Amino acid sequence: MASFRYSFQKIVDLKSSEKTQAEWILSSAIGALASEEQSLEQLREKQREWEQKLHDASQSAVPLSELQLVQHYLDHLVTCIMNKQTDVKHAQKEVEQCRLKLSDKMKDEKVWLKAKDHARDRFQYALQIKEQNELDELTSVRFMLSTP
């Protein structure tokens, strides 16, 4: 019995490989987004700590220069947080673009797999027809031989 060989199997393999690569890229983008979000949270936590230090210092007798220094550092942290929020937004956009690319790659792979399935079905149907014709011929030859 003949076995099925799909003539476009290399394309199917390529589409599968492209999908796998898109999955890896998406995974990497999600990891980068998580890292950016974690860094942003650390900056916010540091901001809360320094705001508490500023509040505590303002309650006690601390030189004005020290209060100004803490306030200057808090302003710097606010700037860092704003920059980090921009980085997080860029990372989110990158994740979304990677998701769209993965979706396209999955659709491409699905189209080629469906085409392969249809080709296999046509092959099996043709094989069944061929086998049925051979059986019909065998039956007719036996019938002819058995009748005197």
Q: Binning pLDDT at 50, 70 and 90, where does residue 1 land?
A: low
Calpha distance 28→36 (Å, rounded) = 12
Output the pLDDT for position 138.
87
**Beta carbons of 20 and 106 less than 8 angstroms apart:** no
CB atoms near residue 38 (< 10 Å):
10
- The CA distance from 26 to 24, in Å, is 5
Taking every pair of C-alpha atoms in the chain, what is the biggest distance, in angstroms?
127
Topology classification of domain 9-108: Helix Hairpins (1.10.287)
Q: Read off the pTM.
A: 0.77
**For 27-73, what is each residue's pLDDT tens digit?**
999 999 999 999 999 999 999 999 998 888 888 888 888 889 999 99
Residue 147 has pLDDT above 80, yes or no: no
**Stretch 80-90: mean pLDDT:** 98
pLDDT digits (tens, 9 = 90+) for 5-36: 999 999 999 999 999 999 999 999 999 999 99
User: 40, 123 in Cβ contact below 8 A?
Assistant: no
Under 8 Å CB-to-CB from 51, ≥6 apart: which residues? 74
Residue 55 CA to residue 49 CA, distance in Å, equals 10
Q: Which pLDDT score, from 0 to 100, does residue 13 have? A: 96
